[in-house]
């Protein structure tokens, strides 16, 4: 999927994005700021700034954040949060001179991109201290706990039964782990390691709000039927998962591992 299609999807999702995504918790944010400052990073370019959910708290903690995004809708929400340095631009062609920032930052963004290695290379060009990315370093549920994407899996199964083709990519954590294997970072530091319990009904609410890109391609009535079926199955059940977030760093040329 190209940049134009991604921008269009996030334009449509932007009104419900903040209400359907978990923010970075205080411990993760604090560890992120500590690691960035340890590396001498004060001026950051956040690539894929979205609605400013990360840029706002980083700014409040004293870092200077400039954000870019391809989605006008997402940027409008970021501006509404009072962020002054925002620009519509592509991760593949940053409109900044070499070494304009200390570093660039991606927060759960790289797995969305078709060519993450190109985006990382551009980030390293713009920020000489490297490209940093907050990622899930392993698939959720790897320790025997359940995946937080169980609601998505159950809805997908109902849609497939109804004849709809829905890709089974395993969720962002799985995609990010594949990316880390294909494009190994020069450094990977754990920011937080915790157990999280979330009601499945809350995950289903996000799907019902069409807050995930694949739901945009499903007829509303079909999606509603699939979600209603899953709600009846799961009731008030919650899912406990093990969530690890880490900071990956790429400081030089990036390429796939053979």
pLDDT at 257 over 70: no
On whether residue 257 sits in a domain, the answer given is no
- Of 20, 55, 58, give the one whose Cα is nearest residue 212: 20
Q: What is the band of 171 on the pLDDT scale with cuts at 50, 70, 90? A: confident
Lowest mean pLDDT among 25-34, 109-118, 218-227, 245-254: 245-254
On whether residue 145 sits in a domain, the answer given is yes
**pLDDT for position 207:** 94
Distance CA 220, CA 132 (A): 38
- Say what percent of the chain tops pLDDT 90: 78
3-state SS, residue 44: strand
**pLDDT for position 256:** 57
On whether residue 29 sits in a domain, the answer given is yes
Total domains present in the chain: 1
Is the model more confident about 21 or about 96? 96
CATH code, domain with 85 = 3.40.50.150
pLDDT in tens, 106-160: 999 999 999 999 999 999 999 999 999 999 987 554 444 456 688 999 999 999 9
Q: Going by C-beta distance under 8 Å and a sequence separation of 6 or more, which residues neighbour residue 243?
A: 136, 140, 148, 192, 193, 194, 195, 196
Domain that holds residue 90: 3-250
Lowest mean pLDDT among 8-17, 76-85, 247-256: 247-256
Do the beta carbons of residue 198 and residue 239 sit within 8 Å? yes
On whether residue 258 sits in a domain, the answer given is no
Q: What is the band of 258 on the pLDDT scale with cuts at 50, 70, 90? A: very low
On whether residue 256 sits in a domain, the answer given is no
On whether residue 162 sits in a domain, the answer given is yes
82 secondary structure, DSSP code:
T
Distance CA 195, CA 172 (A): 17
Q: What mean pLDDT is reported for the chain?
A: 91
**pLDDT for position 139:** 55
**pLDDT for position 144:** 46
Containing H/E element for 22?
A: none
* Whole-prediction pTM: 0.91
On whether residue 105 sits in a domain, the answer given is yes
């Amino acid at each position: 999927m190209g940049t134009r299609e991604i921008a269009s999807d996030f334009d449509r999702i932007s009104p419900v994005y903040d209400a359907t995504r978990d923010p970075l918790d205080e411990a993760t944010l604090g560890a992120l700021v500590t690691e960035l400052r340890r590396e001498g990073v004060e001026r950051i370019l956040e690539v894929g700034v979205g609605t400013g959910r990360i840029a706002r708290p980083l700014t409040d903690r004293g870092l200077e954040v400039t954000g870019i995004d391809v989605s006008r809708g997402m940027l409008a929400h970021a501006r509404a949060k009072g962020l002054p340095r925002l620009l519509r631009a592509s991760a593949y062609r940053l409109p900044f001179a070499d070494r304009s920032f200390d570093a660039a930052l991606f927060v759960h963004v790289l797995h969305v991109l078709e060519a993450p290695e190109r985006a990382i290379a551009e980030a390293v060009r713009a920020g000489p201290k490297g490209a940093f990315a907050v990622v899930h370093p392993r698939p959720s549920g790897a320790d025997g706990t359940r995946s937080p994407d169980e609601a998505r899996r159950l809805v997908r199964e109902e849609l497939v039964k109804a004849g709809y083709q829905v890709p089974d990519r395993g969720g962002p954590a799985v995609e990010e782990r594949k990316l880390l294997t294909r494009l190994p970072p020069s450094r990977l530091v754990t920011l937080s390691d915790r157990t999280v319990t979330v009601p499945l009904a809350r995950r289903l609410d996000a799907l019902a709000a069409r807050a995930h890109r694949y739901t945009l391609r499903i007829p509303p009535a079909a999606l509603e039927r699939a979600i209603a079926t899953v709600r009846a199955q799961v009731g008030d059940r919650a899912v406990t998962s093990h969530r690890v977030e880490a900071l990956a760093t790429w400081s030089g040329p990036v390429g796939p591992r053979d």
